C-alpha cells in the first residue's frame, strides 16, 4: 500500500499536552468578576460544577409625590402615573440586583419615615425618587436626619441633568434621593447608583457603562459649570470610522427622547460644547436594541 504525504506534520502538532491550558496551582479565574460563558467552560473542564457566588443585592424602590397614581390606574386632573418605579426596577434588575418595588408614598413626613425605616431591614439600598430637591414637600433630607446612623454624603451633584440628588449612608446601607424627572433619575442611576450596585454585587473593578469613542454628527452646545450628559443616538459605520453621535433633545421629564437614545455623550464641566465632527465618548446603555 502506498501512502502519499501532502504536507509535513511537526512533532506535537494538533496535540494539547497535560497542563498546557492550566497547570497545577495556577489561578484559573480571579474572584470579583462576572462569570462569562468561557469562564463556565473552564470550570467544566476542571470538573468544577458548583461555585460559591456573591449574593445579589436587594434594592428597595419608592416613588414619592401626592400627584402619583400606579400605572394601572387612570390619572385624574393634576395626577400622573408613576413611571419611575417601573423604570428604576428594570434598571436595578439589569444591573444584576433584586428590585423590591415598595410603591408610591404621598408627601407626608411620618409615612415616609416609617416606610424608609421598615424598608431598610430587608434591603441593601433604598432608591427614593422625587422629594430630593429643596421645596416645601421635599422630605428626603428630614427623613434622613431622623434615621439612626445616617450620614448625608452629598446634596446636589454638579451634573446636568441630575442636580437635585441626595447621597447618604445609613449604617452599611445606601440611600439615594433621585430626581423626580425620569431622564434625570436615569442619568444619576447610571453614573452613581450602578457602579455601587456592581461593587455590592461582588465585582472588584466593574467597567459600568462602556465608554464608546464617537464623532459628533452636529454641533452640541453645553453650559459651563456642570458636567453634562447628552442623550444621543448612534449611527454605526461599516468602515473603520467612529460611530456618529446625534443629540436627542427633550425635557428631562419626557421619556420619548430616552426611547430613541443609545447612550449618554459626556461633555466636561469646563467645556462649552462640542463642534460637529469632534471626537467624544458616549457611555453606552447596557442593553442595546
DSSP class of residue 275 equals: -
Cell output for 201: 454585587
The least CB distance from residue 114 to a copy of itself, in Å, is: 26
Phi, psi of 167 (to 5 degrees): -115, 130
CA 27 to each of CA 30, 31, 140, 241, 262: distance values in angstroms, whole numbers, following the listed order: 7, 10, 47, 39, 37
Residue 40 makes contact with a copy of itself by CB under 8 A: yes
Cis peptide bond upstream of 161, omega within 30: yes
Residue 253 makes contact with a copy of itself by CB under 8 A: yes
The least CB distance from residue 253 to a copy of itself, in Å, is: 5
Residue 270 makes contact with a copy of itself by CB under 8 A: no
User: What is the rounded (10 degree) CA torsion for 82, 87, 88, 90?
Assistant: 140
| CB contact at 8 A, 200 and 181 | no
136 or 289, CB closer to a copy of itself?
289
Q: Give dist(CA 129, CA 63) in Å, integer.
A: 5
Residue 98 makes contact with a copy of itself by CB under 8 A: no
Residue 289 makes contact with a copy of itself by CB under 8 A: yes
Burial state string for 36-46 with b = 16 or more CB within 10 A and e = fewer than 16: eeeeeeebeee
Residue 52 makes contact with a copy of itself by CB under 8 A: no
- Judging by DSSP bridges, how do beta strands 173-178 and 125-129 pair with one another? parallel
| CB contact at 8 A, 233 and 246 | yes
Size of the site for a copy of itself (CB under 8 A): 70
**Among positions 31, 33, 142, 276, the unique one binding a copy of itself when judged by CB under 8 A:** 33
**Among positions 64, 85, 140, 165, the unique one binding a copy of itself when judged by CB under 8 A:** 85
Binding mask 146-185 for a copy of itself (x = CB under 8 A): ------------------------------------x---
Stretch touching a copy of itself by CB under 8 A, among 72-80, 100-108, 131-139, 165-173: 72-80
33 or 118, CB closer to a copy of itself?
33
The most distant pair of C-alpha atoms in the chain lies apart, rounded to whole Å, by 98
Site residues, a copy of itself (CB under 8 A) = 16, 20-22, 28-29, 33-34, 36-49, 71-74, 80-91, 94, 182, 186, 203, 205-207, 210-213, 236, 240-243, 251, 253-256, 258-259, 261, 279-281, 284-285, 287-289
Amino acid at each position: 500500500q502506498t501512502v502519499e504525504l501532502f504536507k509535513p506534520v511537526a512533532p506535537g502538532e494538533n496535540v494539547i499536552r497535560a497542563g498546557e491550558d492550566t497547570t497545577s496551582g495556577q489561578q484559573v479565574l480571579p474572584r470579583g468578576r462576572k462569570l462569562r460563558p468561557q469562564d463556565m467552560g473552564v470550570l467544566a473542564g476542571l470538573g468544577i460544577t458548583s461555585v460559591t457566588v456573591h449574593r445579589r443585592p436587594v434594592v428597595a424602590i419608592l416613588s414619592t409625590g401626592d400627584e402619583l397614581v400606579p400605572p394601572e390606574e387612570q390619572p385624574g386632573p393634576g395626577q400622573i402615573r408613576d413611571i419611575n418605579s417601573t423604570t428604576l426596577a428594570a434598571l436595578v434588575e439589569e444591573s444584576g440586583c433584586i428590585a423590591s418595588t415598595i410603591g408610591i408614598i404621598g408627601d407626608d413626613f411620618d409615612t415616609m419615615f416609617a416606610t424608609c425605616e421598615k424598608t431598610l431591614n430587608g434591603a441593601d439600598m433604598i432608591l427614593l425618587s422625587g422629594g430630593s430637591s429643596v421645596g416645601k414637600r421635599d422630605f428626603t433630607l428630614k427623613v434622613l436626619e431622623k434615621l439612626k446612623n445616617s450620614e448625608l454624603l452629598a446634596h446636589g451633584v454638579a451634573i446636568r441633568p441630575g442636580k437635585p440628588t441626595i447621597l447618604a449612608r445609613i449604617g452599611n446601607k445606601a440611600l439615594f434621593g433621585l430626581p423626580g424627572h425620569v431622564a434625570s433619575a436615569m442619568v444619576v442611576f447610571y453614573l452613581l447608583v450602578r457602579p455601587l450596585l456592581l461593587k455590592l454585587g461582588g465585582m472588584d473593578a466593574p467597567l459600568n457603562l462602556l465608554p464608546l469613542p464617537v464623532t459628533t454628527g452636529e454641533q452640541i452646545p453645553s453650559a459651563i459649570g456642570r458636567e453634562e450628559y447628552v442623550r444621543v443616538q448612534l449611527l454605526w459605520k461599516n468602515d473603520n470610522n467612529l460611530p456618529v453621535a446625534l443629540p436627542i433633545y427633550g425635557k428631562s421629564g419626557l421619556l420619548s427622547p430616552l426611547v430613541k437614545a443609545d447612550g449618554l455623550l459626556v461633555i466636561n464641566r469646563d467645556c462649552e460644547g462640542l463642534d460637529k465632527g469632534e471626537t467624544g465618548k458616549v457611555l453606552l446603555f447596557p442593553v442595546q436594541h
